[in-house]
Amino acid sequence: MSEALNETEQTALRAASEAFVLIRMLTARPMSPEAQQIIHDMADAFHNVPEQCAGGAEQRKANAFLIQAAVRNGVKAYNKHGLASRHLPTAV
């Protein structure tokens, strides 16, 4: 049986889901250079999260740095673009 996700993993997974919704919203209208950059930054920040969170407890522990990096990079991306996250500490 797999161990439950820790708080950081849960936060990263929720933030990744939020970023995917943002990406979907941005692609629903004409693509501006700013929208392309936001999409790039969000995808870059969160691309490892689903696979890492789906792994077993040992894999998640060994690769915890990837989840921690996703959270840090997600905060940077949201702040860079003046966006707020419901799941990450961001400044608007």
Structure tokens, 74: 């997600």
Model confidence pLDDT, tens digit, residues 71-92: 999 999 999 999 999 999 988 7
pTM: 0.91
The separation between CA 66 and the C-alpha centre of its own chain, rounded to angstroms, equals: 11
The answer to whether 70 touches 7, Cβ cutoff 8 Å, is no
* Chain segment 24-58, per-residue pLDDT in tens: 999 999 999 999 999 999 999 999 999 999 999 99
Which pairs count as long-range contacts for 61-68, CB under 8 Å and 24+ apart, including other chains? 64/8, 67/8, 67/9, 67/12, 68/8
Residues 55, 40, 53: CA angle, nearest 5 degrees = 10
Q: Which 8-state DSSP code applies to residue 86?
A: S
Q: Length of the chain, please?
A: 92
Tokens at 51, concatenated: 């696979």
What whole-number distance in Å separates Cα of residue 30 and Cα of residue 55?
36
